[in-house]
Amino acid sequence: MSWKENVRRVTPYTPGEQPKNTDVVKLNTNENPYPPAPAVAEALRDIADGYEILRKYPDPDSGLLTNALADYYDVDPDRIFVGVGSDDVLAMAFQTFFDSGKPVLFPDITYSFYRVWCELFRIPYSLIPLNDDFRIDPERFCIPNGGIVIANPNAPTSIALDTASIETIIRSNPESVVIVDEAYIDFGGSSMLPFVNKYDNLLIVQTFSKSRSMAGARIGMAFGQPELISCLKDVKFSFNSYTMSQDVQRTGAASLSDGEYFSETVLRIINTRNAAADRLKSFGFSCPESAANFLFVTHDRLPAKEIFEALRARNIFVRYFAQDRIDNYLRITVGTPEEMEKLYSALSDITK
Protein backbone atom coordinates (compact mmCIF):
# COMPACT_ATOMS: atom_id res chain seq x y z
CA MET A 1 0.00 0.00 0.00
CA SER A 2 1.41 3.40 -0.98
CA TRP A 3 1.25 6.49 1.21
CA LYS A 4 -0.46 8.13 -1.77
CA GLU A 5 -3.61 6.15 -1.03
CA ASN A 6 -3.95 8.02 2.28
CA VAL A 7 -3.71 11.51 0.82
CA ARG A 8 -6.80 13.69 0.95
CA ARG A 9 -7.57 14.84 -2.59
CA VAL A 10 -9.35 18.12 -3.15
CA THR A 11 -9.69 20.56 -6.02
CA PRO A 12 -8.05 23.70 -4.64
CA TYR A 13 -9.28 27.25 -4.89
CA THR A 14 -7.81 29.07 -7.89
CA PRO A 15 -6.82 32.63 -6.96
CA GLY A 16 -6.45 35.43 -9.44
CA GLU A 17 -3.15 35.48 -11.28
CA GLN A 18 -0.35 37.41 -9.59
CA PRO A 19 1.90 38.43 -12.48
CA LYS A 20 5.62 38.66 -11.74
CA ASN A 21 5.98 41.54 -14.16
CA THR A 22 5.20 44.79 -12.35
CA ASP A 23 4.61 46.75 -15.54
CA VAL A 24 0.98 45.67 -15.81
CA VAL A 25 -2.50 47.00 -15.20
CA LYS A 26 -3.72 44.59 -12.53
CA LEU A 27 -7.52 44.52 -12.39
CA ASN A 28 -8.07 40.85 -11.58
CA THR A 29 -7.95 40.37 -7.80
CA ASN A 30 -10.10 43.20 -6.38
CA GLU A 31 -7.21 44.82 -4.55
CA ASN A 32 -7.56 48.45 -3.58
CA PRO A 33 -5.50 50.60 -5.99
CA TYR A 34 -4.68 53.17 -3.30
CA PRO A 35 -2.17 52.90 -0.42
CA PRO A 36 -3.27 52.07 3.12
CA ALA A 37 -4.00 54.97 5.45
CA PRO A 38 -1.03 57.19 6.34
CA ALA A 39 -1.42 56.06 9.95
CA VAL A 40 -0.47 52.54 8.81
CA ALA A 41 2.85 53.79 7.39
CA GLU A 42 3.52 55.58 10.68
CA ALA A 43 2.79 52.39 12.64
CA LEU A 44 5.19 50.45 10.40
CA ARG A 45 7.95 52.98 11.11
CA ASP A 46 7.34 52.59 14.84
CA ILE A 47 7.52 48.80 14.48
CA ALA A 48 10.82 49.07 12.60
CA ASP A 49 12.24 51.23 15.38
CA GLY A 50 11.02 48.84 18.07
CA TYR A 51 11.43 45.47 16.40
CA GLU A 52 11.87 43.84 19.81
CA ILE A 53 8.16 42.98 19.55
CA LEU A 54 9.06 40.28 17.03
CA ARG A 55 10.97 38.32 19.68
CA LYS A 56 7.85 37.46 21.68
CA TYR A 57 4.68 35.58 20.85
CA PRO A 58 1.77 37.86 19.94
CA ASP A 59 -1.35 38.27 22.02
CA PRO A 60 -3.54 35.22 21.21
CA ASP A 61 -6.72 37.31 21.56
CA SER A 62 -5.36 40.13 19.37
CA GLY A 63 -6.55 42.49 22.10
CA LEU A 64 -5.15 45.68 20.59
CA LEU A 65 -6.93 45.13 17.27
CA THR A 66 -10.07 43.67 18.85
CA ASN A 67 -10.49 46.69 21.09
CA ALA A 68 -9.87 49.06 18.19
CA LEU A 69 -12.57 47.24 16.21
CA ALA A 70 -14.91 47.38 19.20
CA ASP A 71 -14.47 51.14 19.46
CA TYR A 72 -14.81 51.71 15.71
CA TYR A 73 -17.95 49.63 15.25
CA ASP A 74 -19.41 50.29 18.74
CA VAL A 75 -19.52 46.56 19.46
CA ASP A 76 -18.52 44.76 22.68
CA PRO A 77 -15.13 43.01 22.34
CA ASP A 78 -16.66 39.63 23.25
CA ARG A 79 -18.69 39.87 20.02
CA ILE A 80 -15.58 40.07 17.81
CA PHE A 81 -13.33 37.34 16.43
CA VAL A 82 -10.11 38.22 14.60
CA GLY A 83 -8.34 36.01 12.07
CA VAL A 84 -5.62 36.00 9.44
CA GLY A 85 -7.75 37.36 6.62
CA SER A 86 -11.44 36.66 6.13
CA ASP A 87 -10.51 33.33 4.50
CA ASP A 88 -9.07 32.19 7.83
CA VAL A 89 -12.15 33.43 9.68
CA LEU A 90 -14.49 31.68 7.23
CA ALA A 91 -12.53 28.44 7.33
CA MET A 92 -12.74 28.45 11.15
CA ALA A 93 -16.47 29.17 10.94
CA PHE A 94 -17.05 26.26 8.53
CA GLN A 95 -15.25 23.89 10.89
CA THR A 96 -17.02 25.27 13.95
CA PHE A 97 -20.65 25.57 12.90
CA PHE A 98 -21.22 23.11 10.05
CA ASP A 99 -21.04 19.74 11.81
CA SER A 100 -24.65 18.57 11.65
CA GLY A 101 -24.33 16.22 8.68
CA LYS A 102 -26.95 18.26 6.83
CA PRO A 103 -26.00 20.15 3.67
CA VAL A 104 -24.73 23.71 3.92
CA LEU A 105 -26.46 26.03 1.46
CA PHE A 106 -24.84 28.74 -0.68
CA PRO A 107 -25.49 30.11 -4.18
CA ASP A 108 -24.31 28.26 -7.27
CA ILE A 109 -22.49 31.43 -8.36
CA THR A 110 -20.52 32.91 -5.48
CA TYR A 111 -17.08 32.88 -3.86
CA SER A 112 -15.70 29.52 -4.97
CA PHE A 113 -13.74 28.92 -1.76
CA TYR A 114 -17.00 27.92 -0.01
CA ARG A 115 -17.16 24.74 -2.07
CA VAL A 116 -13.46 24.03 -1.50
CA TRP A 117 -13.81 24.28 2.28
CA CYS A 118 -16.81 21.97 2.27
CA GLU A 119 -14.90 19.38 0.29
CA LEU A 120 -11.75 19.77 2.38
CA PHE A 121 -13.60 19.49 5.71
CA ARG A 122 -16.01 16.87 4.34
CA ILE A 123 -19.07 19.00 4.90
CA PRO A 124 -22.09 18.16 2.70
CA TYR A 125 -23.36 21.12 0.70
CA SER A 126 -26.05 22.07 -1.78
CA LEU A 127 -25.85 24.81 -4.39
CA ILE A 128 -28.88 27.09 -4.57
CA PRO A 129 -29.30 28.54 -8.09
CA LEU A 130 -29.35 32.28 -8.50
CA ASN A 131 -32.21 33.73 -10.53
CA ASP A 132 -31.68 34.40 -14.23
CA ASP A 133 -30.60 37.95 -13.35
CA PHE A 134 -28.00 36.54 -10.91
CA ARG A 135 -29.95 37.63 -7.84
CA ILE A 136 -30.53 35.56 -4.71
CA ASP A 137 -34.06 34.33 -4.05
CA PRO A 138 -34.42 34.17 -0.24
CA GLU A 139 -37.26 31.66 -0.42
CA ARG A 140 -34.92 29.06 -1.93
CA PHE A 141 -32.93 29.07 1.31
CA CYS A 142 -35.94 28.25 3.46
CA ILE A 143 -35.35 24.49 3.32
CA PRO A 144 -33.74 22.04 5.79
CA ASN A 145 -30.01 22.66 6.02
CA GLY A 146 -26.90 22.50 8.18
CA GLY A 147 -25.95 26.13 7.67
CA ILE A 148 -26.09 28.97 5.15
CA VAL A 149 -23.44 31.22 3.61
CA ILE A 150 -24.35 34.40 1.74
CA ALA A 151 -21.76 36.74 0.23
CA ASN A 152 -23.21 40.25 0.23
CA PRO A 153 -22.46 41.94 -2.09
CA ASN A 154 -22.03 38.71 -3.96
CA ALA A 155 -18.89 37.85 -5.89
CA PRO A 156 -18.32 37.71 -8.76
CA THR A 157 -21.73 39.19 -9.66
CA SER A 158 -21.27 42.44 -7.63
CA ILE A 159 -24.98 42.42 -6.70
CA ALA A 160 -26.12 43.33 -3.17
CA LEU A 161 -29.08 41.76 -1.39
CA ASP A 162 -31.24 44.01 0.79
CA THR A 163 -31.26 43.52 4.56
CA ALA A 164 -34.94 42.52 4.63
CA SER A 165 -34.24 39.57 2.34
CA ILE A 166 -31.26 38.45 4.38
CA GLU A 167 -33.30 38.78 7.55
CA THR A 168 -35.91 36.50 5.98
CA ILE A 169 -33.21 33.86 5.53
CA ILE A 170 -31.94 34.25 9.10
CA ARG A 171 -35.39 34.24 10.66
CA SER A 172 -36.46 31.18 8.65
CA ASN A 173 -33.45 29.14 9.79
CA PRO A 174 -33.22 29.48 13.59
CA GLU A 175 -31.52 26.09 13.94
CA SER A 176 -28.68 26.97 11.54
CA VAL A 177 -25.85 29.48 11.68
CA VAL A 178 -26.17 31.98 8.84
CA ILE A 179 -22.85 33.49 7.74
CA VAL A 180 -22.98 36.77 5.81
CA ASP A 181 -19.67 37.39 4.09
CA GLU A 182 -19.37 41.17 3.74
CA ALA A 183 -15.96 41.46 2.08
CA TYR A 184 -17.23 44.25 -0.20
CA ILE A 185 -19.85 45.88 2.01
CA ASP A 186 -18.02 49.23 2.29
CA PHE A 187 -18.56 49.83 -1.43
CA GLY A 188 -22.34 49.36 -1.42
CA GLY A 189 -25.29 47.61 0.16
CA SER A 190 -26.18 47.65 3.84
CA SER A 191 -24.32 45.70 6.49
CA MET A 192 -26.14 43.19 8.66
CA LEU A 193 -24.02 44.20 11.64
CA PRO A 194 -26.94 45.98 13.39
CA PHE A 195 -28.80 42.66 13.40
CA VAL A 196 -26.15 40.78 15.41
CA ASN A 197 -27.83 41.72 18.69
CA LYS A 198 -31.17 40.47 17.38
CA TYR A 199 -30.21 37.00 16.09
CA ASP A 200 -28.04 34.51 17.95
CA ASN A 201 -27.46 32.49 14.74
CA LEU A 202 -25.98 35.34 12.67
CA LEU A 203 -22.26 35.68 11.98
CA ILE A 204 -20.94 38.67 9.99
CA VAL A 205 -17.51 38.33 8.35
CA GLN A 206 -15.54 41.32 7.04
CA THR A 207 -11.99 42.04 5.90
CA PHE A 208 -9.30 44.73 5.68
CA SER A 209 -8.22 43.42 2.26
CA LYS A 210 -10.52 45.47 0.05
CA SER A 211 -11.67 48.83 1.35
CA ARG A 212 -8.72 49.29 3.72
CA SER A 213 -5.99 48.48 1.16
CA MET A 214 -4.41 45.83 3.41
CA ALA A 215 -4.71 42.57 1.45
CA GLY A 216 -1.06 41.83 2.20
CA ALA A 217 -1.54 42.15 5.95
CA ARG A 218 -4.23 39.43 6.12
CA ILE A 219 -6.78 40.80 8.58
CA GLY A 220 -10.30 39.46 8.84
CA MET A 221 -12.92 39.64 11.55
CA ALA A 222 -16.27 38.19 12.50
CA PHE A 223 -19.08 39.71 14.53
CA GLY A 224 -21.63 37.63 16.42
CA GLN A 225 -23.17 37.05 19.80
CA PRO A 226 -20.70 36.00 22.53
CA GLU A 227 -21.56 32.30 22.40
CA LEU A 228 -20.81 32.12 18.67
CA ILE A 229 -17.51 33.97 19.14
CA SER A 230 -16.55 31.71 22.04
CA CYS A 231 -17.14 28.62 19.91
CA LEU A 232 -14.97 30.09 17.14
CA LYS A 233 -12.14 30.76 19.58
CA ASP A 234 -12.29 27.20 20.89
CA VAL A 235 -11.68 25.89 17.39
CA LYS A 236 -8.99 28.49 16.63
CA PHE A 237 -7.06 27.68 19.81
CA SER A 238 -7.21 24.00 18.88
CA PHE A 239 -5.11 24.85 15.80
CA ASN A 240 -2.78 27.68 16.78
CA SER A 241 -3.23 30.38 19.40
CA TYR A 242 -0.70 32.75 17.85
CA THR A 243 -2.13 33.34 14.40
CA MET A 244 -1.85 37.12 14.01
CA SER A 245 1.52 38.82 14.35
CA GLN A 246 2.15 41.84 16.56
CA ASP A 247 2.95 44.10 13.61
CA VAL A 248 -0.26 43.22 11.80
CA GLN A 249 -2.32 43.88 14.92
CA ARG A 250 -0.73 47.32 15.26
CA THR A 251 -1.15 48.30 11.62
CA GLY A 252 -4.76 47.13 11.65
CA ALA A 253 -5.54 49.27 14.67
CA ALA A 254 -3.78 52.21 13.01
CA SER A 255 -5.93 51.85 9.90
CA LEU A 256 -9.07 52.19 11.99
CA SER A 257 -7.83 55.47 13.43
CA ASP A 258 -7.87 57.25 10.06
CA GLY A 259 -11.57 57.44 9.22
CA GLU A 260 -11.32 60.44 6.93
CA TYR A 261 -8.79 58.79 4.64
CA PHE A 262 -10.86 55.61 4.57
CA SER A 263 -14.03 57.45 3.55
CA GLU A 264 -12.25 59.44 0.86
CA THR A 265 -10.65 56.37 -0.67
CA VAL A 266 -13.87 54.37 -0.74
CA LEU A 267 -15.69 57.29 -2.37
CA ARG A 268 -13.00 57.60 -5.04
CA ILE A 269 -13.44 53.94 -5.93
CA ILE A 270 -17.23 54.23 -6.02
CA ASN A 271 -17.05 57.27 -8.31
CA THR A 272 -14.57 55.53 -10.63
CA ARG A 273 -16.75 52.41 -10.63
CA ASN A 274 -19.86 54.32 -11.62
CA ALA A 275 -18.02 56.18 -14.37
CA ALA A 276 -16.53 52.89 -15.61
CA ALA A 277 -19.96 51.27 -15.90
CA ASP A 278 -21.06 54.07 -18.23
CA ARG A 279 -17.81 54.07 -20.19
CA LEU A 280 -17.85 50.31 -20.75
CA LYS A 281 -21.35 50.53 -22.20
CA SER A 282 -19.90 52.60 -25.05
CA PHE A 283 -17.73 49.60 -25.99
CA GLY A 284 -20.69 47.21 -26.10
CA PHE A 285 -20.58 45.89 -22.53
CA SER A 286 -23.43 45.52 -20.07
CA CYS A 287 -23.34 44.77 -16.35
CA PRO A 288 -25.58 44.67 -13.30
CA GLU A 289 -25.47 47.61 -10.91
CA SER A 290 -22.36 47.03 -8.82
CA ALA A 291 -22.21 47.37 -5.05
CA ALA A 292 -18.58 46.22 -4.93
CA ASN A 293 -15.17 47.46 -6.08
CA PHE A 294 -15.48 45.59 -9.37
CA LEU A 295 -17.77 45.26 -12.38
CA PHE A 296 -19.22 42.03 -13.75
CA VAL A 297 -19.47 42.57 -17.49
CA THR A 298 -20.44 40.78 -20.67
CA HIS A 299 -20.06 41.97 -24.27
CA ASP A 300 -22.85 42.03 -26.83
CA ARG A 301 -20.66 40.47 -29.59
CA LEU A 302 -17.31 39.18 -28.41
CA PRO A 303 -16.75 36.12 -26.19
CA ALA A 304 -15.41 36.95 -22.73
CA LYS A 305 -12.47 34.58 -23.07
CA GLU A 306 -11.38 36.27 -26.28
CA ILE A 307 -11.45 39.71 -24.63
CA PHE A 308 -9.63 38.34 -21.58
CA GLU A 309 -6.81 36.94 -23.72
CA ALA A 310 -6.56 40.09 -25.83
CA LEU A 311 -6.25 42.24 -22.71
CA ARG A 312 -3.70 39.89 -21.16
CA ALA A 313 -1.58 40.16 -24.30
CA ARG A 314 -1.50 43.90 -23.61
CA ASN A 315 -0.47 43.35 -19.96
CA ILE A 316 -3.94 44.19 -18.65
CA PHE A 317 -5.20 41.54 -16.26
CA VAL A 318 -8.91 40.99 -15.55
CA ARG A 319 -10.65 37.87 -14.21
CA TYR A 320 -12.26 35.23 -16.42
CA PHE A 321 -14.24 32.30 -14.98
CA ALA A 322 -14.57 29.13 -17.04
CA GLN A 323 -17.73 28.25 -15.14
CA ASP A 324 -21.27 27.35 -16.11
CA ARG A 325 -23.61 30.34 -16.52
CA ILE A 326 -20.82 32.95 -16.24
CA ASP A 327 -18.27 31.81 -18.82
CA ASN A 328 -19.17 34.79 -20.99
CA TYR A 329 -18.52 37.34 -18.24
CA LEU A 330 -15.45 39.16 -17.00
CA ARG A 331 -14.84 40.58 -13.55
CA ILE A 332 -12.98 43.87 -13.73
CA THR A 333 -11.54 45.42 -10.57
CA VAL A 334 -11.92 49.17 -10.26
CA GLY A 335 -8.45 50.69 -10.50
CA THR A 336 -7.22 54.24 -10.46
CA PRO A 337 -8.60 56.58 -13.15
CA GLU A 338 -5.25 56.26 -14.93
CA GLU A 339 -5.41 52.46 -14.92
CA MET A 340 -8.99 52.53 -16.17
CA GLU A 341 -8.00 54.81 -19.05
CA LYS A 342 -5.43 52.22 -20.13
CA LEU A 343 -8.19 49.61 -20.03
CA TYR A 344 -10.51 51.78 -22.11
CA SER A 345 -7.78 52.43 -24.66
CA ALA A 346 -7.18 48.71 -25.08
CA LEU A 347 -10.89 47.92 -25.29
CA SER A 348 -11.47 50.56 -27.93
CA ASP A 349 -9.06 48.64 -30.11
CA ILE A 350 -10.23 45.14 -29.18
CA THR A 351 -13.95 45.83 -29.64
CA LYS A 352 -13.86 47.98 -32.78
3-state helix/strand/coil string of 31-70 = CCCCCCCHHHHHHHHHHHHCHHHHHCCCCCCCHHHHHHHH
CA–CA gap between residue 167 and residue 161 (Å, rounded)? 10
pLDDT band at 122 (very low <50, low <70, confident <90, very high): very high
The separation between CA 177 and the C-alpha centre of its own chain, rounded to angstroms, equals: 19
CA–CA gap between residue 122 and residue 112 (Å, rounded)? 16
Task: Over range 78-99, report the average pLDDT.
Answer: 97
CA–CA gap between residue 6 and residue 94 (Å, rounded)? 23
CB 204 within 8 A of CB 191: yes
Would you say residue 288 has pLDDT above 90? yes
**For the domain bounded by 38-256, which CATH number is listed?**
3.40.640.10
Beta strands in the chain (DSSP E): 25-26, 80-83, 104-107, 125-128, 147-151, 178-181, 202-207, 220-223, 285-286, 294-299, 316-317, 319-320, 330-333
State the pLDDT at residue 19.
84
Domain 16-36+260-350, what architecture? Alpha-Beta Complex (3.90)
Would you say residue 48 has pLDDT above 80? no
In sequence order, the β-bridge partners of residue 83 are: 220
Q: What ranges do the domains of the chain cover?
A: 16-36+260-350, 38-256
- pLDDT tens per residue across span 55-75: 889 999 999 999 999 999 999
State the pLDDT at residue 14.
78
Neighbour order of strands in the sheet with 125-128: 80-83, 220-223, 202-207, 178-181, 147-151, 104-107, 125-128
Q: Tell me what the pLDDT averaged over the chain comes to.
A: 95
Would you say residue 281 has pLDDT above 90? yes
- pLDDT tens per residue across span 30-43: 999 999 999 999 99
Between 170 and 18, whose confidence is greater?
Answer: 170
- pLDDT tens per residue across span 131-159: 999 999 999 999 999 999 999 999 999 99
Tell me how crowded residue 75 is: count the other CB atoms within 10 A of its CB: 19
Would you say residue 11 has pLDDT above 90? no
**Cis bond upstream, residue 153 (ω within 30):** yes
State the pLDDT at residue 140.
97
